[in-house]
A and B are shown apart, each in its own frame.
Chain A
């Protein structure tokens, strides 16, 4: 490839920063939306599900905290995959008018959602204080590890789908529907405990469900999965990211002609 770049890290960061700058451009509340949106979602879901289903009495005393944690994780995943998926098209200029390594576009775009996730974690910490709940150190560490895994998973999806989205714009709509399926198939608004135990394994095969469940469980209740399960899941996600990247490199070549 003709060399135009030596410094990929700077490029990725610049793309991410620019996206972040432009994200709430033209809105009155601006960056407040970064935290306001998940909080509004949380307030509604919390009101509906705590009062109607009364989870408080079904062995989940910290239901609001669990809900918020899970919701932040899921929204992070949903946003990261959506921006990653559409990144090549939304930054068509960088694809068709100049050569920059295309993976930097995908990575930079998803990274922007990492920033807002980081800000939301501060809000989450505030809620822990509000509910007088102190997580254990291992709980926090594992939570961060799960967040990282979730990000890798989102990047893997983006690498896999972004070159095809250029040709088939339907993928965005399909993925939106798929995301809501994933949301209800994961223990986000409900605790895993309300599901018969025999189905747990099936549900937790879904990496998003696995991460959401054990991420919040570790943080709030100090429950962890087995080392074996964790390693298998992490290896699976890592491997899928590598495969996705290889697929991406194969199909990115014709992307400029297709947009």
Chain B
């Protein structure tokens, strides 16, 4: 393990953070870093446990939180680290901060680090905001004189002047973050490590923090931001790294990495959906087989009971069908080539195939779908009536209705609600709210909002 300062003189320099940063030296250089956690299957937290384990074979799992991670961050860069939960991004940050020691590989840090890993490091709930500023700032390496000098500025930035002599335990979590963040940026180190700080705190304070990061950058300082908020990374970071299961999936511009992250998440979603569907199919056939087996194994009275039960059930279903006119049995998304997919690109044709079952003959029913955003806003509603279609008589049995849509939805997840109504549109035979989710990604360019219109931007001078 090589863990040393790339610039040893800084150690002895009292005011190292004022000294001009040597140009072209990386602020952080990580080479084939691995971190392995050994997780015992039964955590030994007592001596007895340890003694017992001498005689028993100790079972434990080796788990790589980080595997062969290499990257470099230049001085003055705003670097984002993206990844899902458990991808190792927080472990990486803790190694950079020195909380964990790496299992192998080299980490070189060229400057003083101010980590901001979690809410209120070293904060004590029983102490006042004032005392906590002193405590926290000392923990971040400021001396008493420096804190005295910066105290007012710290309080002003946190906007907590009114509460500064109250105990921290009476602060809201947003207030605690504000105070902690304020101290962290006043620590005035060369490298700022930030973990999910923007999750808490209102939007005003968030933008204030981001402005502060930008100012940091201008001063030639380095900011490392760990998050899963793609928008923040794309808007503020110069470069970013995507971690996936402890490995570097991608390093590049914030834009590229952000898009890749969205895409990967979507393909995960796709895999999950397919897996679920397969599992459901397998389960259904297994259940059917089991039910038959169970029936075969039954004897005497039990067999009689089972037969009655089945007869009753059959009758109930028939009864239900008598009352029911039609039922929506499923929705699938097909692309132009008839391949079933769950993730579509903007501009692509989506065939929304709704399968129905009619129990009675129906004349001119209306078929419709609603596309909704995840927060329930109707983005698009269409049906056969709106399109001035006369559907004709539906025979008893299965039918398929295909809604062929040229997709203009923006990157994100949406839900599909199909419905069947009678010719008057007053009686609904079936309505399945948010029956299925649809994922959209635009890999060509970024945009915000739910719609993604085909557009050009023309500049005239």
Binding site for B on A (CB under 8 A): 1-7, 10-11, 14, 18, 21-22, 25-26, 93-100, 167-171, 174, 253-254, 256-257
Contact = CB atoms under 8 A, between A and B. Distances in A.
A168 B50 CA distance: 9
B46 A99 contact: no
B143 A10 contact: yes
Given A2-B113, A5-B141, A99-B115, A170 B96 contact: no
Interface residues of B, number: 45
Interface hub of A4, A22, A93, A253 (most chain B Cβ within 10 A): A4
A18 B131 contact: yes
A2 B14 contact: no
Nearest to B13: A6
A224 B121 CA distance: 49
A95 B393 CA distance: 73
B99 to A, nearest CB: 5
A174 B50 CA distance: 15
B450 interface: no
B111 A95 contact: no
B50 A3 contact: no
A98 B115 contact: yes
Interface in B86-143: 94, 96-101, 107, 109, 111-115, 117-118, 121-124, 126-127, 131, 134-135, 138-141, 143
Given A3-B111, A4-B114, A99-B97, A169 B45 contact: yes
B390 to A, nearest CB: 68
10 contacts: A2-B97, A4-B114, A4-B189, A7-B143, A10-B143, A14-B139, A18-B127, A168-B47, A169-B46, A257-B37
Contacts, number: 102
A94 B112 CA distance: 18
Given A4-B97, A6-B14, 5 more contacts: A2-B98, A93-B122, A99-B115, A168-B47, A168-B50
B5 A167 contact: no
A256 B99 contact: yes
A98 B121 contact: yes
Contacts of A174: 47
Contacts of B101: 253-254
B3 interface: yes
Nearest to B45: A169
Contact of A22 (B99, B113, B127): B127
Contacts of B124: 18, 22
A4 B117 CA distance: 14
Nearest to B97: A99
Contacts of B100: 256-257
Contacts of A5: 141
B60 to A, nearest CB: 13
Contacts of B117: 97-98
The 7 closest A-B pairs by CB, nearest first: A99-B98, A14-B138, A2-B109, A2-B98, A170-B47, A5-B141, A98-B121
A4 B122 contact: no
Contacts of A169: 45-46
A185 B122 CA distance: 40
A211 to B, nearest CB: 29
Given A93-B121, A95-B99, A167 B45 contact: yes
Contacts of B37: 257
Nearest to B113: A2
Contacts of A167: 44-45
Contacts of A10: 138, 143-144
B208 interface: no
B423 to A, nearest CB: 66
Nearest to B132: A18
A4 B10 CA distance: 12
A25 B115 CA distance: 29
B11 interface: yes
B388 interface: no
Nearest to A101: B98
Contacts of B456: none
B138 A11 contact: yes
B56 interface: no
Contacts of A6: 11, 14, 16, 141
Contacts of B47: 168, 170-171, 174
B139 A94 contact: yes
Interface string B365-386: 0000000000000000000000
B95 to A, nearest CB: 9
Contacts of B426: none
Contacts of B144: 10
B141 A7 contact: yes
A116 B112 CA distance: 35
A186 B131 CA distance: 41
A18 B123 CA distance: 11
A7 B146 CA distance: 12
B98 A1 contact: yes
A98 B109 contact: no
B48 interface: yes
Interface string B130-162: 010011001111011000000000000000000
A25 B167 CA distance: 12
A21 B127 CA distance: 9
B134 to A, nearest CB: 7
A98 B100 CA distance: 10
Interface in B1-57: 3, 5, 10-11, 14, 16, 37, 44-48, 50
Given A3-B10, A14-B138, A21-B127, A168 B46 contact: yes
Nearest to A26: B126
B135 A4 contact: no
Contacts of B112: 3-4
B139 A11 contact: yes
Interface in B50-71: 50
B10 A98 contact: no
A52 B253 CA distance: 83
Nearest to A166: B45
Given A3-B11, A98-B122, A170 B46 contact: yes
Contacts of A95: 99
A254 B97 CA distance: 14
Nearest to B1: A253
Interface string B330-347: 000000000000000000
Nearest to A168: B47
A98 B99 contact: yes
A25 B139 contact: no
